[in-house]
Amino acid sequence: MALFSKPPAKKPVAPPPAARPVPPAPKRPSAHELASKAQGRGAAPVRPPEEPAGSDITVTGASLLDTGRDQPGFEVVQANPGLCAVLENAALLYASGQAAPARTLLEQGVTTDHDARLSPLAWLALFDLLQRAGDRNAFDQFSLQYVVQFERSAPSWEDSGQPQASKAAQGGYVAITGKLTEASAAQVDGLRRAIDKGFSQARVDLAQVAGYDDAGAALLAAALAQARKRACALSIQRAEKLRTLLAASVKRGVEGGEGAWQLALELLQWQQNRDAFENLAVEYAVAFERSPPSWEPPPAPPAAAQDAGADPTGEAETAAADLDSLAWAGVMAGAALPQLAKLAEFAQGRAIVPVDMGAVERVDFVCAGAMLNAINRIEAQRKSVQLLGVSPIVRALLLLIGISPRHFVKKAQ
């Protein structure tokens, strides 16, 4: 028997539960990430952690990171020096039609943001927007800052108030797509800008119009009437489908909507069809109890390029052959633009495919992605696409979406 009894065994104390890590707040996607997602690309691969010092493991001729063929290895920002967060966001704002916020962002950026201040393209994009806005005083003030920053001359102000004004003599192209509604105002504004710039060979393509409501029909009719009264030699192309839809509305009388009647009458003026116009004008007066519009036809388009039986593809090829480049103008919006179809046709038989974008006002985000896909398809055939005269703010968007800097060529003066 022991003199001293054993002390009772102590029960092991369980360690306190580890605190659950708090998940980080969701990160707002950058403009670059939005551009990557738009093309179906994933985010950039994460680098593997470095091996600790003294490791005996050596890998030769291979990477610890799996880079299979299906892994997208593409980084827009690194491939395109000169882009910065401020410029990317400004380019997206402008692409969506928000010119004033894009300008404000760039003005603040080149003053307060380090990366934007060191980016010549950000400055050029700002000058581009100031030129478009016609703000000569702000343009001159930032020109002085540009000279101090880069120790070289700033871009010069163009008295025309719009960049690339010399392109007006060559013509423009405006495509109206989708259903005509009040939301189509941005596309119709492209037509109005072509009128204001005095394009002598402007073309309006209506093949992609899928329908309309009364407000949308009245909107397009008013723009065409404005061009007609200003004696603009527009070429209305591929309007047969729209005319058929309008004829069905006209048969319904007043229920068809006055906007449809106005657009039908306007297209007859541009078609130079006086007999049909006068008959419909009388019916319009009876249906709506107001004076009918008068017969005031526009001037005939150049080379009788009206769309009645004409092949718009042939016309585009003729114009491109004369200029030795395919010319685009106005606002380019949407994924299935006729301009991109004509690009594929123009590329046939050419090793170098020049596209003059000097008169392009704006390219939206969807169209930029479609342009990238079209260029990639053409260059897969061992051809080279050259984009001439692209304005800085549009160039920033195209760089962001993934179009390489090598595609941009300075237009000869």
Rounded CA separation 332/339 (Å): 8
CA angle 140, 144, 150 (to 5 degrees): 130
95: three-class secondary structure by DSSP: helix
| Separation in Å, CA 340 to CA 171, 232, 344, 368 | 17, 25, 7, 11
Rounded CA separation 71/45 (Å): 9
On the question of pLDDT at 126 being above 80, the answer is: yes
Both 145 and 176 in one domain: the answer is no
Both 278 and 172 in one domain: the answer is yes
Both 235 and 344 in one domain: the answer is no
Q: Is 165 exposed, middle or buried (0-12, 13-18, 19+ CB in 10 A)?
A: middle
Q: 251-268, pLDDT tens digit by residue?
A: 999 999 999 999 999 999
Q: Is the pTM of this model over 0.75?
A: no
Which one of 284, 304, 324 terminates a domain? 304
Q: How confident is the model at residue 412 (pLDDT cuts 50, 70, 90)?
A: low
Q: How confident is the model at residue 31 (pLDDT cuts 50, 70, 90)?
A: low
Both 328 and 272 in one domain: the answer is no
Rounded CA separation 213/216 (Å): 5
**Residue 107: other Cβ atoms inside 10 A:** 18
Both 382 and 275 in one domain: the answer is no
Rounded CA separation 315/150 (Å): 45
CB 201 within 8 A of CB 171: yes
Both 184 and 292 in one domain: the answer is yes
Is 49 within a domain? Answer: no
Residue carrying structure tokens 């050029």: 124
Which one of 281, 304, 327 terminates a domain? 304
Is 177 within a domain? Answer: yes
Is 102 within a domain? Answer: yes
List beta partners, residue 352: 384
Both 112 and 223 in one domain: the answer is no
Both 228 and 273 in one domain: the answer is yes
Is 50 within a domain? Answer: no
CATH code, 340: 3.30.750.24
CB 167 within 8 A of CB 201: no
Which one of 273, 304, 335 terminates a domain? 304
Both 335 and 251 in one domain: the answer is no
Rounded CA separation 403/97 (Å): 21
Both 199 and 108 in one domain: the answer is no
Is 276 within a domain? Answer: yes
Both 361 and 299 in one domain: the answer is no
The helix (run of H) or strand (run of E) holding residue 220 is: helix 214-229
As for how many domains the chain has, the answer is 3
The pLDDT, as a whole number, for residue 53 is: 38
Q: 163-174, pLDDT tens digit by residue?
A: 443 343 344 667
Rounded CA separation 85/118 (Å): 12
Give the domain range for residue 365.
Answer: 312-409
